[in-house]
Amino acid sequence: MKAKILALAVIVFMAGSTLIGCGQASKQDAKSVKEDAKVLGNDLKKGAVDTSKEIKMTVNENWKKFENRSQSAITATDAQIKTLRTKMESAGKAEKEKLTIALNQLEQKNEALKNKLAERGKEFKDGVISFNETTMANEQEFEREFTHDMDEIGAALKDLFKDNVD
């Protein structure tokens, strides 16, 4: 009977030691996981801030390049309109009226594009634009539309005098 009790005591002691040892390891693993989660969370926050800064820097650089190209194109269009106005003087009276109306419309469109560009530049300067993942797509859309409008004005100017005055 003593042997049975002794064997039972040894088994209970071994089982208790095993359970207590596993419980301690689980607690340490839980602490380690919790610390890793905190570090990972901090890394994610830092990564999000870095990404936002990178997006802002990229969008600003692209905007400056686009703004310079657009201002040059607008200036060239203004010069072309002035040149065409002087060239128009050799046209007949009826043709001159028609061309004047068309040039005035193109000049108004060009002025509207100047204002649109200036307004967008002011938004950048004042920091009104929020910089996130969609900002780059929005800016590309704006640039695409603006370039399309500028191309339309340029094509209209070329077509205006193609057949009329040489």
Dump pLDDT digits (tens) for 43-80: 667 666 667 777 778 888 888 898 899 899 899 988 88
SS3 content of the chain, % helix, strand, coil (to 5): 90, 0, 10
Asked if 126 contacts 50 with a C-beta cutoff of 8 angstroms, the reply is: no
Residue 84 neighbours by CB distance under 10 Å: 19
Angstrom CA distances, 64 to 10, 90, 112, 129, stand at 80, 41, 20, 14
Angle at 25 between CA 19 and CA 26, to 5 degrees: 85
pTM of the model: 0.63
Asked if 89 contacts 121 with a C-beta cutoff of 8 angstroms, the reply is: no
Q: Could you give the 3-state DSSP secondary structure of residue 84?
A: helix
Average confidence (pLDDT) over 81-90: 83
Residue 4 pLDDT more than 60?
A: yes
Pick 138 or 129 by higher pLDDT: 138
> How far does CA 153 lie from the centroid of its chain?
26
User: pLDDT (tens digit, 9 = 90+) per residue, 90-124?
Assistant: 777 888 888 888 888 989 999 998 999 888 888 87
